[in-house]
Amino acid sequence: MSLFTVDRKKCNHDAHCVNECPLGIIAWDERSGEPFPVDGAEQLCINCGHCVAVCPQGALSLAAMPLGECPELPENWRLSPAQVNGLLKGRRSIRTYREQEIGRAVLAELIDTARYAPSGINRQPLSWAVISGSEKVRKAAELVIEWMKGLIAEASPLANSLHMEAMVGAWENGKDRICRAAPHLVIAYGIKDDMLAGQAGTIALTYLDLSAAGSGLGACWAGYVTMAVNAYAPLKEYAGLRKRHSCCGAMLLGYPAYAYRCIPARNPARITWK
């Protein structure tokens, strides 16, 4: 089966697909006036869908990506610069949550959006683990505390540099500084030996964070959880990951307990112009 097909009645011969292919595996046939896959294209194609997305006439269809699976963008899909800046500068790391849980359908939709995040050579290497319910999330936090106590007992430099004694002390005083009593904990993970998974996880979780903010929800990166999942077998098992897996990042989710009025100041950008 050919890598792609072209509807001759729709093709306007603009060669956008040729020019936009990231790997240069689409060529132009001057005689027929149509694009065609170069030798070996089937093995090189990463199914990124650029050729499908860029065709203004909808004339090209990838064998692995039928046009029916690629909804058209609405004309007004772009946000204004002010809206983008407002979302990026206005989102906050939410550390205080209402008790209300987010519906599973909403969580699934957020993760569905996050899976569209870019990944190296379109590997899409991530899987997701979702822990829902304050008691279940608290159990995850408890396992992180166990891990911290072990490092403190060993006089680990990591424990000192990350103020783990303070985290444990807060826990013992009834304050959860690990998962913040969030109703949901989302973990992005990949295969441990996949060098591209970590970066993909960071980008996808950023998508998740911004999608949550745009939906009126709150999110916060759970750095201690990320470290502990990869270092402490009981937590890794509790999260449903196997030995071959590596946590690429973890995020707390829930409904914010408070609204925010302004945008806090940040340090000026340090830029070197050349």
Q: Domain extents for the chain?
A: 4-69, 89-254
pLDDT band, very low/low/confident/very high, at 33 (cuts 50, 70, 90): confident
Mean pLDDT of 62-74: 92
CATH architecture of 89-254: 3-Layer(aba) Sandwich (3.40)
Output the CA torsion sign for 176, 204, 106, 219: positive
Mean pLDDT of 167-176: 98
Q: Which residues contact residue 184 at a Cβ distance below 8 angstroms, ignoring those fewer than 6 apart?
A: 101, 102, 107, 130, 131, 132, 137, 252, 253, 254
Of the chain, the percentage scoring pLDDT greater than 70 comes to 100
* pLDDT (0 to 100) of residue 31: 87
- CATH code assigned to 4-69: 3.30.70.20
- Give yes or no for residue 12 having a pLDDT over 60: yes
| 112: exposed, middle or buried (Cβ count in 10 Å: 0-12, 13-18, 19+) | exposed
Q: What is the largest CA-CA distance in the chain?
A: 78
pLDDT band, very low/low/confident/very high, at 66 (cuts 50, 70, 90): confident
Look up the pTM and report it.
0.94
Mean pLDDT of 92-97: 98
- Give yes or no for residue 1 having a pLDDT over 80: no
pLDDT band, very low/low/confident/very high, at 17 (cuts 50, 70, 90): very high
- Kindly report the backbone phi and psi dihedral angles of residue 52, in degrees, each rounded to the nearest multiple of 5, phi listed first: -70, -45
What is the DSSP pairing of strand 245-254 with strand 218-221? antiparallel
What is the DSSP pairing of strand 184-191 with strand 26-29? unpaired
Tens of pLDDT, residues 96-119 = 999 999 999 999 999 999 999 999
Half-sphere exposure of 26 (CA within 13 A, CB side): 26
